[in-house]
Structure 1
Amino acid sequence: MKKKLVALTLAAVMTISMAGCGNTMSDEYVTINKYKGLEITEVEKTEVTDETVENTVKSYLTAAPLKTEITDRAAQDGDTVDIDFVGKVDGKAFDGGTASGASLKIGSGTYIGANGDYKGFEEQIIGHKKGDKFDIEVKFPDDYSESTLAGKVATFSITLNGIYEVSDDTEITDEWVKQNSDTAETVEEFKEEIRTKMKENNESTRQSQLQSEVLEALSEQVEVKKYPDGDIDKEYQAVEDYYTAYAQQYGMELADFLETYMNMTEDDFKKKAKEVAEESVKKKLACELLAKKKKLEPSDKEYEKKVEEYAEKAGYEDVDAFRKAYDEDTIRATILQEAVANYLLESSVQVEAASTDNSTDGSSSDK
């Protein structure tokens, strides 16, 4: 009996020991101390209510009001027209002077106005019918923002594709739905379409947040032995390039942008950017190790499918354009990290967020 008890105890110890070993892994770069049963903050599901659906429908209606095509008369003030045009100065096309399928409300003052003996762009469309092709001349203001065009006379060759009356009615109709939905034909069908999309978007957002949470939890369990040569520098440069490009959008140097918008010196930025780079590489190394050990690397077919999915989510119709916009290594790393995150989530434990509502004595306010 005693011998049997000792054997059972030893078996239990061995089971615990093996379970512990099974929850760690290591290579030349990192050691993962734990990856199963990671605790992450609970992410609640966002419910889609009738009110949120109605508000979303109203926003769609505002962005794309009902249009009724006019075919029995020429364009007049107040109409919305669909036009193609090519603008030239001294016989040469200029940047920003060409468009296809442009929507313009005549009288809105959106385009170049009258200047001296030259009429405005919009008023010269009045009197023309759908299908007409005609040339107009306008004169840019002397103080025009683009100095190379200031005070110049431009010729625009215009094709009038359509004339429309745009309704100010705020009520959605079946007619509007048919104009603006690829699948729905009635208001109720459209609302259900919106509800479905919102549910999908909410769940996608929730899943992304969970993936981020579990990767952060994994990172806390990782010890770095060494970084691969050049990886930190590459990540640091990516961070710096991102903020430099952002600063340029404001017409500013990086140092000025940091001080003005981020209340940060260049030295502070460099320190923070290095920390971000190190954290990024650490997470990348841990994910690569887990993916290799657990055989999570996507196949070529799975990879290509993911790239298409990412391109669509990012608003790219062309996958090649998406690939040109993003570094291939970055795309691969992102896909791999998503696969690892989903694997980790299977065994993760969601816990409620810690309450920040404390009583004056420092104890929890919940009794």
Structure 2
Amino acid sequence: MQVSVDTTSQIERRVTVQVPAAEVDEAVNARLKDAAKNVRMDGFRRGKVPMSVIRQRYGRDVRNEVVGEVMRERYVRAISEHELNPAGFPQIEATVNEAGKDLEFVATLEVYPEIELASIEGTEVERPVVEVTDADVDEMIETLRKQNAGWEAVERAAEDGDQVTIDFQGFLGDEPFEGGSAEGHDLVIGSGSFIPGFEEQLIGAKAGDDTEIKVTFPEDYQAEHLAGQEATFKVKVHEVKGQSLPEVDAEFVKKFGVEDGDLDKFRAEVKKNMTREASQAVENRVKQQVLGALQKANDIPVPQALVQQEVDGLKRQAAQQFGLGEDFDVSQLPNELFAEQAKSRVEVGLLLAEVIKANELGASDDEIKAKVEELAEQYQEPEQVVEYYMGNEQMKTQVKSAILEEKAVDLLLEQASVKDVEMSYQDVLAAAQQQDEADEEEGSEESAGEEERQA
């Protein structure tokens, strides 16, 4: 077997392989002889069909089958001998495929890039410093009360946050439109579940009132025949209900896993959860700054095969998030919607892998177990969670990857200039949410930019 490797780009290789004709022809002949033993053909007894007939009838298919197997096997041998590290599957094409001639084929593949890491020294990283106060805990408990509130009928006019029971019918001009009516519908004013402008016009309504509400459907409304249209809704208000907040007593706290109903334990548990949430938000904010600096300092080529794998994963996540069902064909979703986000993820993954490799980072079983125990604290039965994770190699591998990523980020953070910034609990969470929204918006803008470039 003769092999030559041409470098066509930083991450693309063209591998040309030649296999002696005798090896391929002998394999084809052996396969034909083996097949001849079981061939049934009119005019011949089983196994007695002349080889000339067998070759004429089956020769091309058998050769294609043998050549396909040979190319796959010799490709694997070639990349192993030349120490190539393929990223994804190759494109293999036979360039010479005739009996009596050496088989020649070309494999075009992408390889993982060789990375020489540049330092992020000089990068300024802001690290929030946050303390969960008693006032923060009080506010969280009030939120929990609202989440567990009941509804009680009131005799007054409806206010923002009230629940109203209504009948309604929508009209375009004088004609009612399909899907625009309901009876006995419970609507919380301010929930944003109806089109803009509808809920606000119910403020001040009382049980027994008949009212008309005028709204304009958004231009991007999912029902095209309603998009941008002005509509009138005739509404009958049957009942107005106000929130009935539960008392923070033993029965209330038992709902949150404090079996003995102790209020001090409940407050301590709420504060513990809030502190963990704040800590995660801080770690994530620092991490995003570090990884952004790492990408900025290291412009690397990215194998398209890896990007496509990530795109496919993001498509599956999107389908699951929007409840499209397991049978939904994710190939219907345009690659462009996910391409830039996928490319960024692959870049970060390759760079972190190089940091881990260069610094010979590892994670022991004790470290993995400690991390699992930390994660398990969020659950009501942490012992079962720990047992499940430690007994599942795939889950352990995921935890190990998370630990290695944390270690890599910590190492990179040592190169940066860290500035501690005092922030409140609410500000830290708000900043984390804004960062998530900015990342999503950036992905959308980059996708739009890509579409413009292609146009």
Tell me the TM-score range normalised by the shorter chain.
0.3 to 0.5
